[in-house]
Amino acid sequence: MVIYKTEEEIELIRASAKVLAQAHGEVAGMIKEGITTRALDQRAEEFIRDHGGLPSFKGYNGFEYSLCISPNSVVVHGFPSDYQLKSGDVVSVDCGVLLNGYHADSAYTYPVGEVAPEVLKLLEETKKSLYLGIDQAVAGNRMGDLGYAIQNHVEKQGYGVVRELVGHGIGQKLHERPEVPNYGKRGAGLKLQEGLVLAIEPMVNLGTKSVVQEKDGWTIRTKDFKPSAHFEHTVVVRKDKAEILTSFEYIEKALQ
């Protein structure tokens, strides 16, 4: 069942989204050569709890961490570890916050040090595709319009759009209906209505769209080991223009 949110519920999600955006900013300020991904995870959890929230991911289906941290060819669901970031890496940081009974979810992919130009372009175009998808999250459009906007943009660049992983509805549960594919056919799928809150999250590979799951049961990586990028916002469908509840503002300030 698709759950449409009241304005009161949207305000609760907005409050979660603000703590989430600030937590992302804390992590962004730490990303540099030599930092361990475990240190990033610890800082995020500390910040979220200090601000009255809970990390949405920790304990979710047995996941043991507050962040999914996915370097290079890892698409999503990577475990924080003692891995030290090095120049040339790109790293996706995905985080969720539960506050006052409602979740928000967002992700950002960072370059570390000197990154190859073609990989920087992958990040740029994937981020751009997120906003093209968000532009379609207005009442009266179809889910296929959203997916098509993302897919059409990134495939024109020669990239692969992951099929096995999709965005999702979000609210009192981290993952709610409907699924939000990053590919689709214009005019197809669920008709979008006001009050629908979605986590829109393009996952785009430099090479093949094909992915594999590692033996840990969580980590998803590209089949050809080429880099992947992942950007995500929590968004509410509105009448004329989608409203973005999460923010990259604190990330961008930290990266200046």
Tell me the binding residues for substrate: 77, 175
Find the helix packing angle between 143-156 and 117-135, rounded to 10°: 160
Q: Which residues of 154-179 are buried (b: 16+ CB within 10 A; e: fewer)?
A: beeeebbbbeebbbbbbbeebbbebb
Contact 172, 185 (CB under 8 A): no
Residue with tokens 């379609």: 136
Cα 144 to Cα 152: distance, rounded to the nearest angstrom: 11
Contact 219, 78 (CB under 8 A): yes
Which residues contribute to the annotated binding site?
77, 94, 105, 168, 175, 201, 232
Residue with tokens 């999709």: 166
Which residues contribute to the annotated binding site for a divalent metal cation?
94, 105, 168, 201, 232
